[in-house]
Amino acid sequence: MHWSLFILAGMGLVLAHALKLPGTGSRSTSITAFLLGLFVTAVAVKSLAAANGIGRTTDFDRFVNAAVIEATQDDAPLVVFTGASYSRNGIDPERLTLALRERGYPHRVVNLSIEAASILERDAHLQQFIKLSDRMPDVIFVEVARDFDARAAYMFGNSKFNVRAIEQFDLANSVWTSFGILGGACDGAKGCLMDSAYLGLHATLNFLNVGLIGGGEPAADIEAVPAYDPQVEARAKSQPDLALKSNPVSVFQGPQWVRSFRYQQQRRLAGQGVRQVAYYQPPTLDPSARAYLDGLCAGEFIEHACISPNDPILMEQLNGDHWFDPSHLLDSGTAIYNRWLVDEIIASEILEPAA
């Protein structure tokens, strides 16, 4: 535990003591005083922690630290992929960097992906990467998947009350998630009710700094671990012949909540100096999931570079023992996908070749 956390804890005790009432009063007055003291103490502890660069440590922080080390090796323009487990298994930054440079593009690829990461959590850690590396990416590829668009509080279906779940539901992310739930981005009426309840609990735990004092670390003390997680042995049986099947594609927009967030994210990143924001999804055996991104590429993302894996040539190459499970690639599949992806990136003309 970092020594400064003891100071933060001490500040909390001092504030709690200073704000207590000198005498007895009505029950409502006591409750009001308690809540005021709790609020001031929580804000003070959070502010002091932020000023010292201390946050709840998760695997995502470890991945960010590794990405910072990679990004600061030289001044090559950066291509950052932000995604969930699809990208953690499917985006090999070393392969992609080497392949791009062999084709005359000086860029360095960075993978910022972790399983079950919503677009909100990924955006927060993208900003963390930009701040710590003091580098502005040239191009940012944002992973899009139907499951994350359709459920604003996707984390609650994967895990609850862990450090990552508590960390991501700060005020801003709680507002966006509420917007999604109110818009029906959850699993029916019961699912929306449950997600609302879990959101309230996680937002409260975030505000009260649960896990911050006991498990917090400054960024410089966090271990660096690469995000790419190559797999060589399948964990579940797959039907690789599904790669040859396809669903009809319709042109459409994503749900209102995530479409609004993506629009604001685009404007914010452009204002920070990011030249291009693009969209992609690694392959999956589910034809409807591939068709989902196809529809977005032709609709919501029509003015952006958008790379869908719903390509018969690619999927035919992946019709074999290249699947970790029906939704994720083995390393052999990643090699196939990344070769194809480099061709698609170059064809999109989103990158500027070396002078």
For the stretch 112-152, pLDDT in tens is 999 999 999 999 999 999 999 999 999 999 999 999 999 99
Report the DSSP beta bridge partners of residue 143: 280
User: For residue 280, what is the enclosing H or E element?
Assistant: strand 276-280
Query: DSSP letters along 16-57, please?
Result: HHHTS-SS---HHHHHHHHHHHHHHHHHHHHHHHHHTTEEE-
pLDDT in tens, 140-196: 999 999 999 999 999 999 899 999 999 999 999 999 999 999 999 999 999 999 999
The pair of three-digit structure tokens given for residue 296, joined into one six-digit string: 């977005």
Q: What gap in Å lies between CA 226 and CA 79, rounded to an integer? A: 16
Q: How many residues are given for the chain? A: 355
Enter the tokens of residue 300.
Answer: 């919501």
The H or E element spanning position 94 is: helix 93-102
Terminal Cα distance for the chain, rounded: 48
R_g over Cα of the chain: 22
Q: What is the mean pLDDT of each run of 10 residues along the chain (355 residues)?
A: 58 63 70 82 82 88 96 96 98 98 97 96 97 97 97 93 94 96 96 98 94 81 95 95 94 97 98 98 97 97 97 97 98 98 98 87
The whole-model pTM stands at 0.90
Q: Is 140 helix (H, G, I), strand (E, B) or coil?
A: strand
Question: At 119, is the secondary structure helix, strand, or coil?
Answer: helix
As a whole number of angstroms, the distance between CA 162 and CA 198 comes to 12
Q: Kindly report the number of other CB atoms within 10 A of residue 336's CB atom.
A: 17
